[in-house]
A and B are shown apart, each in its own frame.
Chain A
Amino acid sequence: MKESAKTFILCKLEEVVKNLSNLKIIYKFDFLSNEHLIEVLPLSEYISNQEYQNIESELIFGFIKKFPFDSIVFFSEDDRIDIVDPDRIIIGTDYQEEIEQSEYSESQLFNIYVDSKLLISNFDDELINTADPIKNFYADIELQLKQSKVIDYPEFKEYLEVTNFLESSIFNEDADKVWSLDKESKDIDDNTCTTYGVCNNFALAA
């Protein structure tokens, strides 16, 4: 039973990479949890390639219909799930590892402005339109702020600039996203970066 589920998946994954040759797929069946783990790289394709997502949907529905007691887990690098000792690695002929530093120019910086009540971020329009990982970036920052956590998004460390809102001329209406911190959150003083540890993590404080 397990072997046929594995065979079914591997056969489909080979097809996926044949059709989308810029992908790399890492597969492992975890027999302890009964989960078929599938890491799809690069992250940008996993998040925003509609053709890939359609194929993934077809695979999911084909799989759960055929194997209703099994689990198939599609994820990418930002999910922080490690596959140790994979059963199969399928690499497309056009696959290239994403090198973040070469993807964004210096003008495409994330600007995050913080004062004691608001966090306002101003994102480069072109970047928003072209890079879907930003959606996850938004969600991640929002989540961590809601929880008054240190922002920790190391993948983006090269592209984030943190500036004290009080010293900037950006107003709310210019921002792409505005998050209010709840009253329970710790106060942020002028030295916001230190309070949140943002600077230390991103190393690009203004």
Chain B
Amino acid sequence: MSILLNKSSENFQAIDLLDSSKLYTPGVHCAYYSALQLVIHYFYVYCGISEAEVKRDIQGGGNSHNYYLNKLVEEIKELDVRNAAQFYRFFSIFKRKRNEADYHNIKIGEVELMEAKEKAKKVKIFLIKACDEGKCEDIYFM
């Protein structure tokens, strides 16, 4: 298993641990990073861009999360345009929610954490199917 996949799995497992301690905001954080690490893993596997190239591209101060996601979605688009767009829509909302959880003055509870966990799960299923099995499905129905 790649190190990134392992990190993603650890972050996913941390969700329940944080939930049981009622630490909901860091739980949302872990759920998002669990999904992002999968995006980065598949980015390196399928986009044909080396780490050195990524560093060079991002050096100018660009947002690395967006870069990984945007490049990967462009790859998935070759498989299925509609579902690649749906995935982008889904993930960008997830990213926004995590941003609100971490930086906005809003309360994060168990419901928000479970929503984030469910989103992380869907991202994983989508990426495995799309990138490993070549089957792109609507993420909203997973």
Binding site for B on A (CB under 8 A): 32-35, 37, 53, 56-57, 60-61, 64-65, 68-75, 79, 81, 135-136, 139, 143-144, 147, 149, 152
Q: Are B93 and A68 in contact (CB under 8 A)?
A: no
State which of B81, B92, B114, B141 has its C-beta within 8 Å of the C-beta of A72: B92
Contact string against A for B residues 71-89, beta-carbon threshold 8 Å, 1 for contact and 0 otherwise: 1011001000110110011
Q: Are B99 and A79 in contact (CB under 8 A)?
A: no
Q: Are A32 and B103 in contact (CB under 8 A)?
A: yes
Q: Are B115 and A143 in contact (CB under 8 A)?
A: yes
Given known A56-B85, A149-B110, contact A71–B62 (CB-CB < 8 A): no
Contact string against A for B residues 106-122, beta-carbon threshold 8 Å, 1 for contact and 0 otherwise: 00001100110010000
Our count of residue pairs bridging A and B at CB distance below 8 angstroms stands at: 85
A sample of 6 inter-chain contacts (CB < 8 A) reads A73-B92, A74-B93, A81-B96, A135-B141, A149-B110, A149-B111
Residues of A within 8 A of B85 (CB): 53, 56-57, 60-61
Q: Are B96 and A33 in contact (CB under 8 A)?
A: yes
Q: Bin chain B's interface residue count.
A: 20 to 34
Q: Are B93 and A34 in contact (CB under 8 A)?
A: no
Q: Are B74 and A61 in contact (CB under 8 A)?
A: yes
Residues of B within 8 A of A81 (CB): 93, 96-97, 100
Please name 12 further chain A to chain B contacts, defined as beta carbons within 8 Å, in addition to the given A34-B66, A35-B95, A147-B110, sorted by A numbering. Answer: A33-B103, A34-B63, A35-B92, A53-B82, A56-B89, A68-B57, A71-B66, A72-B92, A74-B89, A75-B89, A139-B140, A147-B111
Residues of A within 8 A of B44 (CB): none
Q: How far is the CA of A46 from the CA of B39 in the complex (A)?
A: 25
Q: Are A147 and B114 in contact (CB under 8 A)?
A: yes
Nearest-CB residue, chain B, relative to A70: B66
Nearest-CB residue, chain B, relative to A61: B77
Nearest-CB residue, chain A, relative to B117: A147
Q: How far is the CA of A79 from the CA of B140 in the complex (A)?
A: 13
Q: Are B66 and A60 in contact (CB under 8 A)?
A: no
State which of A35, A57, A64, A135 has its C-beta within 8 Å of the C-beta of B82: A57
Residue among A33, A61, A71, A144 having the largest count of chain B Cβ atoms under 10 Å? A71
Q: How far is the CA of A115 from the CA of B15 in the complex (A)?
A: 30
Q: How far is the CA of A191 from the CA of B97 in the complex (A)?
A: 35
Q: How far is the CA of A77 from the CA of B71 in the complex (A)?
A: 28
Residues of A within 8 A of B140 (CB): 135-136, 139
